[in-house]
Structure 1
């Protein structure tokens, strides 16, 4: 299976990295921010850099749509997996257009109030994953896998 892993830096990326038992078994590409700490954490991995900031930044959202289009057309992944944040929306929109499956994992630290990226990606997700039972109130068709970290 070929996987595209999409995340903002920081906690979002840390949650995807924590799933290494899964993604190390597959051919993969990452889409994330070009920052020193990200380069260090993903050393040796194939990465497509996305524009930031992304939160409520329309010009970068448009730029990231272009990156998503280019990346998804080139890589042709079987699935796009994201933990957010805003960069996930561009990739999920393009993935849906290209009929590529999507998996969104809601942030561990957002127990009672959903993230904006989760609310936007929920209708575009083939599988929507939460880490707390309380998160299923906002996302009734989600699957609770428990804490990743």
Structure 2
């Protein structure tokens, strides 16, 4: 019987969150990878740079923040559809809202989840990062001073 490599869903908002997520890509070399972000133009960079992934896909979702309720709902529906369609084994995110949605939904589905809070949040965790903590298997901060026994862990250098 041939087993498929693990399927990683890597999701982040465009900008700094996306840059940090892409820096993590060597960690899932050899895996099937589905990338999700809020900027459809990022597709060409992902599909043109397959690295050592067994399979690479990309989906774009609606960009939204906490003040754009309707757009958040559209993004949520898109993420539900992507999770049901792709059935990942693990969801990894560096934030923000789309990553939080995917993380919570994946946890409900019994999938492994990881949140790596943005390097930009040196004084406090991001709002999404605070909300992610109770639902993820691995919760990391990139700042040692933000690590707490019941909060995110700090595991070394920043990405």
1:13-92 matched pairs, under 5 angstroms: 13-36=18-41, 38-44=42-48, 45-92=56-103
Q: 1:93 offset after TM fit, Å?
A: 2.3
Report which of the two structures shows the higher radius of gyration computed on alpha carbons. 2
In 2, the alpha carbon distance for the partners of 1:58 and 1:145 equals 34
Choose from 106, 124, 128 the match for 2:117: 106
Q: 1:59 offset after TM fit, Å?
A: 1.1
Corresponding residue pairs, total: 147
CA contact (8 A) 2:79 2:98 kept: no
Structure 2: tracts of 5 or more residues without a match: 1-5, 49-55
Q: 1:82 offset after TM fit, Å?
A: 0.3
In 1, the alpha carbon distance for the partners of 2:150 and 2:104 equals 21
Structure 1: tracts of 5 or more residues without a match: none
TM-score (norm 1): 0.88
Q: 1:86 offset after TM fit, Å?
A: 1.4
TM-score (norm 2): 0.83
Render the CA deviation track for 1:31-69: whole Å, top value 9, x for unaligned.
Answer: 101343x23432344111110133432112211221121
